[in-house]
Amino acid sequence: MAIAPAKILVVDDDPAIRNLIHRFLTKQNYQMESAEDGKSALATFEQFNPDLVILDVNLPDANGYNLCQEMQSRTNVFILMLTSRTDEADKIKGFSQGADDYITKPFSLGELGVRVGAILKRQRPVTSAEQQCLMFDQLMIDPVRREVKFNDDIIPLTALEFDLLHFLASHPGRVWRRAELIQEVWDYEYVGDQRVVDVHIGQIRKKIEIDTSQPALIQTVRGVGYKFEAPGSGKPEASA
């Protein structure tokens, strides 16, 4: 049975950029739709139900960061932010709003293709070894449903936040450098400020830690990176 092509929505008010991306990704066998502003983007989003949105930050009638949050509140869509801003602070803001990746204009179509492919790899079916739920006292991570529960309450995570938490929790006690986490979770050679890892860790902590000032699950190892510290035994309880 053939796998349906991934659906991608391009949102940019510049027709030259919008059409260029649309044509390029159509040739890569993706199913494409386009929008030129926030209003038409949301309407198309509802009808098209894309797997990924390539979203310009500066739209004539909308803020891309707000649009990112609005779309992700409706589905678990992946968001690739597109902007002419080169300031790292803007990139950090984009990631903190839930974006999965960020690309700065001008960009090469080759780089865009790599970024898109890396993001969509997160849709891949998990192997049988990866299908087991991880249980840590009140915390449950289900890689099949891509759900996280804490005290039986579902915790809303973005796709990237889930991948990062699941990766760390799958290796309890091991310390990971930021560059290693980017390579393992982002799945390509990320060029930019490694503080993006800190931003995502901070977002996850807000959702699963009882006291974010003294995190018990995801701990900072000064001068190195992060580790997941399993409560109690130090090992996850596997659950089918």
**DSSP helix, strand, coil percent of the chain (3-state; round to 5):** 40, 25, 35
158-178 residue pLDDT tens: 888 888 999 999 999 999 999
49-93 residue pLDDT tens: 999 999 998 898 988 888 998 898 888 789 998 887 666 666 777
Contact predicate 174/227, CB 8 Å: yes
Contact predicate 150/138, CB 8 Å: yes
Contact predicate 76/146, CB 8 Å: yes
DSSP state of 87: -
Contact predicate 165/208, CB 8 Å: yes
pLDDT value at position 238?
Answer: 47
Which of 84-88, 131-135, 200-204 is most confident?
200-204
Mean pLDDT calculated for residue range 39-46: 94
Contact predicate 33/21, CB 8 Å: no
Q: In this structure, which topology does domain 128-239 adopt according to CATH? A: Arc Repressor Mutant, subunit A (1.10.10)
pLDDT value at position 236?
Answer: 47
Task: Report the chain's mean pLDDT, rounded to a whole number.
Answer: 84
How many Cβ atoms from other residues are within 10 Å of residue 222's Cβ? 5
Contact predicate 144/126, CB 8 Å: yes
CATH 3.40.50.2000 fits 7-123, yes or no: no
Q: Give the burial class of 104: count Cβ atoms within 10 A of its Cβ; 0-12 exposed, 13-18 middle, 19 or more buried.
A: middle
177-199 residue pLDDT tens: 998 898 888 766 655 667 788 88
Domain ranges of the chain: 7-123, 128-239
